[in-house]
Amino acid sequence: MAVIGSLHGLPISFGTPGLVGLALSYAAPIVSLLGSFLTSFTETEKEMVSIERALQYMDIPQEELQGCQSLNPDWPRQGVIEFHNVTLRYMPSLPAALCDITFTVGEGMQVGIIGRTGAGKSSVLNALFRLTPICTGCILVDGINIADVPVRELRTHFSVVPQSPFLFEGSLRDNLDPFRVSNDIKIWEVLEKCHVKDDVEAAGGLDIHVKEAGTSFSVGQRQLLCLARALLKSAKRHDSDHNCSPHFHGLEHGQHPDS
């Protein structure tokens, strides 16, 4: 830092060396203080973005949880799914993700939907689970329109293995059977059906600690574990949103769990 004298200001010669040193000692921290100020300003701006996102989530319309249809305790008994002229758009300005589709999945049938990225495979599941409201048409399960079924009850009777499987931090047992409704024998039977029993035994059994997001296992293993969790749920219908992963070939060409 340079100290410059001026004819219009106080000449340096008028000050003593002590005053000059004092001025320098007070001026030196200004640089670090400015740096700290800029850092704090940047961090505050980043945190405000988080608040903005939280406010956006608060403004999302609440989905309708109630239904007007009284259901039998054993619904769905057969699990027949019917799509009738279903059209789905994620936003009014976007093209239809599903356009006037009609099909029926009978009792005990195993159906695969094949298509390129963006063809609408995941949109079928979004419509079935009422994650996105359909624009036209209707979806029937055992002859009952799912729009008339309470959302929580509808999702209780179905299970899904997402394309990006997720495991919670904790024991593997809690991930597979969070409500503790199955014994160890049942859990191991399901793991064997899903062709992941050997991997779990090699990792240390049901009481091993699963890291956050399930990073203790590979993506394929996480998908199979999520499938096992879905089967242990004893839902009437099991849906899987995954690509042609080699981890599923053993299920598709061997003993596939009933769905």
Q: Is residue 19 part of a domain?
A: no
d(CA 29, CA 35): 10
Q: Say if residue 108 is in the same domain as residue 204.
A: no
Q: Which two tokens stand for residue 1?
A: 């830092």
Q: Say if residue 45 is in the same domain as residue 140.
A: no
Predicted local distance difference test score (pLDDT) of residue 62: 78
Q: Is residue 209 part of a domain?
A: yes
SS3 184: helix
Q: Of 145, 175, 208, at which residue does a domain stop?
A: 145
Q: Is residue 10 part of a domain?
A: no
Predicted local distance difference test score (pLDDT) of residue 2: 47
Q: Say if residue 250 is in the same domain as residue 168.
A: yes
Q: Say if residue 216 is in the same domain as residue 256.
A: yes
Helix (H) or strand (E) holding 135, with range, is none
Give the global pTM: 0.66
Predicted local distance difference test score (pLDDT) of residue 208: 93
Phi then psi for 173, rounded to 5 degrees?
A: -60, -45
Q: Say if residue 232 is in the same domain as residue 190.
A: yes
Q: Is residue 137 part of a domain?
A: yes
Over the stretch 112-132, which tens digit does the pLDDT of each residue have? Answer: 888 888 888 889 999 999 999
d(CA 167, CA 212): 7
Q: Say if residue 51 is in the same domain as residue 80.
A: no
Instruction: Give the chain's end-to-end CA distance (angstroms, integer).
Output: 76
Predicted local distance difference test score (pLDDT) of residue 243: 56
Considering 81-85, 93-97, 210-214, 228-232, the range whose residues carry the highest mean pLDDT is 81-85
d(CA 155, CA 159): 7
Q: Of 145, 175, 198, at which residue does a domain stop?
A: 145
d(CA 210, CA 73): 35
Residue 254 has pLDDT above 80, yes or no: no
Q: Say if residue 166 is in the same domain as residue 106.
A: no
Q: Is residue 258 part of a domain?
A: yes
Residues 169/170/175/180 CA torsion (nearest 10 deg): -150
Q: Say if residue 185 is in the same domain as residue 124.
A: no
In which domain, by residue range, is 202 found? 157-259
Over the stretch 55-83, which tens digit does the pLDDT of each residue have? Answer: 888 888 777 777 777 788 788 888 899 99
Q: Of 145, 175, 203, at which residue does a domain stop?
A: 145
Q: Is residue 66 part of a domain?
A: no
d(CA 113, CA 149): 25
- The enclosing domain of 192 has a CATH number of 3.40.50.300
Q: Is residue 138 part of a domain?
A: yes
d(CA 196, CA 148): 38
Please state the domain count of the chain: 3
Q: Is residue 111 part of a domain?
A: yes
